Amino acid sequence: MRINRLVLGFALLSCTTVPAFAQSRDATSAEWQAADGAALTAARAGWPALFDAAYARYPQLPRGVLESIAYVQSRWVMLDGVRAPDAESAPAVGLMGLYQGDGFADQVGDAAALLGVSRAQVEREPRWNILGAAALLAEAARRLPPDASEADLLAAYAGFDARSRGAIDAFARESFAYDVLLTLDRGVDDGGIRVEARAIEWERQFAPAALVRQHAPFVRLDLSKGSVEADGYTIDAREETLHASGRLGGGTGVDSGNGLNSTDYAPALWVASPYFHARSGSTTAVAIHTMQGSYAGSISWFQSNPSSVSAHYLIRSSDGQVTQMVREAQAAHHIGSENSYTLGIEHEGYVDNAAWYTTAMYNASAALTRHFCARYAIPCSSAYNGAAGSGINVLPASVKIKGHQHYPGQTHTDPGINWDWRRYYTLLNPGSGGTARTLDGFESNEGHFDSTPAYSGSTTGIAASSTAERDCTVARVGSCSEHLRLVDNPSDTQPWAVRFLSGSGTPSANTSVARDGKLGFWVYVAGSGFSVGLGVDDSDGTERSTLRAVPADTWTWVEWNLADAAVWNAWVGGNGAITAANVTLDAIWLERAHTAYTVNVYLDEVRWTPN
């Protein structure tokens, strides 16, 4: 089996009892997230040892894949497996998010049989839940041909609709495999979750059409000379991803080699659900949902679920990918008596875990809703702009963009206490916030900067072993900063040019800011000779700022005026000036003459300030 067997190291920590997480209706979102985060971090301390034990028992499994599956399926939370009223997928159980039948594969029963233990042990005990997933993966590997890829293994393991082997199910399995490998490619180090980054050779995992569909990163290619044409595909040098140059294949839907694009909303993929009906009125409102499940699982569930539920669009947490499942002209089965006049957006994740609501997801969702506002004359300013809550709270009909929990006659309470309505309102109405905005403060997580320093193919001079981690021992603002450890690549004598990506270099994964303002950040470099700059995605390409020299061993504030053409130069597709009304940050650049030393850099408070 052609699988990367790179061994990853994990600290062996003592096991802890997994706490029960209960959400108080009286707690604020911030209070809930703080208490939840502390309890989860404590619970997660013992899990790396359990993953190591599973690899010891099943040494044929590629290291890191179990941790990554746990992240994709549960965000390292012990799911209870009980179908929630809000669920839009088959209920998954345990840290590994194993399915229990109900239209999907009975992964719990199959794992229990392979291990010779009870269902209850697989469902309730982290050790057996992890070993159950490992046993299922090992069994799937045994059935695959020797030249199968890691993506093939993950697709065979996925556990979606056991009755289907059609194109829709294949797409769901592909999406699951991609998300697991994307997590491995990026790595995770946050709140006790530890998935070591491992560079994925995407072209060895998926066919080109699948890479286009999934917007997979080709970040280790040398793209310094611009785009590359090959066999009908183009590598975009800004996003460093593969795109189809023209129409490939003659199919429709998931069979289309051109990426199954939606005809209602161009950035979305199209996968049809059979559950919809004709509208009885005009489209006047938008409902925000949380799936209570995974993106790939919901795609499969919306094909053949016994409750006939559906939604117009689904959004993936990791990168904001959007899939459409019901045409906008039709009524989806998402909000009962209010279906006839609403459009529904389902967001991957669970209401009691804020980790699912990523910047990429918020940005993709807001862009989709702005499309609704423009197409159906729904005022974006009519969106709810209040505090999040955990119960039913019916809002007036004049509030056109709101949660499932805000509509009359509902029992569902999504998107719940962790959805940031004020943030969403600002994204829908970019001009509504005239004060300074912190894009990344690194106080609770790495925010947009969740890639390694060497992740971009535009980076030169440093080794792939260079790291980026949140550090709460050094900070300029608050308690934490982002710590980059830049390690020289001894086989590359080029000057160091580090393109430290924001939002993995994808504009839709970054926060939109107005041109009439300045972008800046605090930087501390434990070494001399460094200059820093910014890359900004404009409407016509990416522009790069002039470089600013920074002194060693001191915090320095640097910023660039987006409206000042004198401080911007054309990079890929750009014209040397910021011309769009709103732009996004592409990357922070760090440059230095070649050195053999390892250098530590700290970044803090990446901020936009109005002029």
In a domain, 228, yes or no: no
- Residue ending a domain, among 383, 414, 432, is 432
Are residues 33 and 23 in contact, defined by beta-carbon separation less than 8 angstroms? no
Domain containing 392 — which CATH number? 3.40.80.10
In a domain, 71, yes or no: yes
Structure pTM?
0.80
Check residue 7 and give its pLDDT.
24
Are residues 363 and 320 in contact, defined by beta-carbon separation less than 8 angstroms? yes
Check residue 87 and give its pLDDT.
61
pLDDT tens digits, one per residue of 113-166: 999 999 999 999 999 999 999 999 999 999 999 999 999 999 999 998 655 557
Considering the domain architecture, whether residues 64 and 127 belong to the same structural domain is answered as yes
CA distance 214 to 155: 14
Considering the domain architecture, whether residues 448 and 305 belong to the same structural domain is answered as no
Within 8 A by CB and 6+ apart from 201, the residues are none
Check residue 543 and give its pLDDT.
95
Check residue 445 and give its pLDDT.
85
Check residue 2 and give its pLDDT.
29
In a domain, 358, yes or no: yes
| Biggest CA-to-CA distance, the chain | 70
- Structure-block tokens of residue 261: 């694009």
Q: Which domain covers residue 453, as residue numbers?
A: 437-610
Check residue 252 and give its pLDDT.
35
Task: Look up tokens 């659900």; give the residue.
Answer: 273
Within 8 A by CB and 6+ apart from 479, the residues are 443, 472
**C-alpha distance from residue 105 to each of 73, 99, 401 (Å):** 15, 6, 36
**Nearest one of 367, 384, 383, 386 to 375, comparing CA atoms:** 367
Considering the domain architecture, whether residues 448 and 402 belong to the same structural domain is answered as no
Are residues 356 and 349 in contact, defined by beta-carbon separation less than 8 angstroms? yes
CA distance 531 to 548: 5
- Structure-block tokens of residue 230: 């090959």
**Nearest one of 90, 282, 96 to 172, comparing CA atoms:** 90
In a domain, 245, yes or no: no
- Structure-block tokens of residue 89: 């997928």
Check residue 304 and give its pLDDT.
75
Considering the domain architecture, whether residues 76 and 180 belong to the same structural domain is answered as yes
Check residue 574 and give its pLDDT.
86
Q: Which residues of the chain have pLDDT under 70?
A: 1-37, 83-89, 161-165, 218-232, 237-238, 245-260, 306, 431-434
In a domain, 193, yes or no: yes
Check residue 183 and give its pLDDT.
93
Domain containing 148 — which CATH number? 1.10.530
Q: Alpha carbon 471 to chain centroid distance?
A: 22
pLDDT tens digits, one per residue of 355-412: 899 888 998 999 999 999 999 999 999 999 999 999 999 999 999 999 999 999 999 9
Are residues 332 and 339 in contact, defined by beta-carbon separation less than 8 angstroms? yes
Considering the domain architecture, whether residues 504 and 604 belong to the same structural domain is answered as yes
